[in-house]
Amino acid sequence: MKDEDLFAEAMRKVQPMRAPARVTPRGKPPRPDKVVRVSQATVVRTATPVADVRPQPGQEPWVLLADGVSREQLKKLAAGQPPVAMELDLHGMTRDEALAMLMQKVKALQAGSGRVLCIIHGRGRHSQGRPVLKEAVYHWLREGPCAAQVLAVVPQRGTGGGSCLVLLRRQKV
């Protein structure tokens, strides 16, 4: 017997399955995530690891947010929860020195048990034109080698935009 004949013989007793009853959803369809305002800083949810929004004149510094981070977590971070595990002051450093130091501190924090890094980058008042360290730090946090470890970045309260709090992912043990 050929394979086709064997298959036809085996399929002779098979009954087709009934189609399942379809459920039609009621109400409005779910809305996509909206832009969320947190103390005048704009937060965007995207499919990329971290999203950024450049500030408009007169707005607070950037806020970076990864998917899955809730508004409650963002508010807690801005309020100091979890507590700052390490502080990094970049005043007086060049851009390259600051980014090298930032890499070193993020790696050290990841090796320990802390998750929140306070970065003091300054407001850029002594820079020519735009704030060099501030922009470099946010760009590095958004697109640098450790960007996948960054869950959220918010400006630290009471600093006038001169420092930020960075929440890192938990390390898998």
pLDDT in tens, 26-74: 776 655 554 444 443 334 433 333 334 344 344 344 688 888 888 888 8
pLDDT in tens, 107-162: 999 888 789 999 998 877 766 767 788 888 988 998 889 888 899 998 888 887 78
Reported as a pLDDT band with limits 50, 70 and 90, residue 101 is very high
Lowest mean pLDDT among 16-25, 89-98, 154-163: 16-25
Distance in angstroms (rounded) separating the CA atoms of residues 18 and 53: 51
What is the reported pLDDT for 22? 75
What is the reported pLDDT for 173? 62
Distance in angstroms (rounded) separating the CA atoms of residues 7 and 134: 70
Whether the predicted pLDDT of 85 surpasses 80: yes
Domain definitions of the chain by residue range: 27-168
Closest among 101, 90, 113 to 169, alpha carbons compared: 113
> Measuring CA to CA, how many Å separate 54 from each of 47, 61, 67, 85?
18, 8, 18, 27
27-168 folds as: Ribosomal Protein S8; Chain: A, domain 1 (3.30.1370)
Taking a C-beta distance cutoff of 8 angstroms, is the pair 88, 101 a contact?
yes
Please provide the DSSP assignment of the chain as one string.
--HHHHHHHHHTT--PPPPPPP----SPPPPPPPPEEETTEEE---SSS-B--PPPTTS----EE-TT--HHHHHHHHTT-SPP-EEEE-TT--HHHHHHHHHHHHHHHHHSS--EEEEE---STTSSSS-HHHHHHHHHHHHSTTGGGEEEEEEPTTTTTSEEEEEEPPPP-
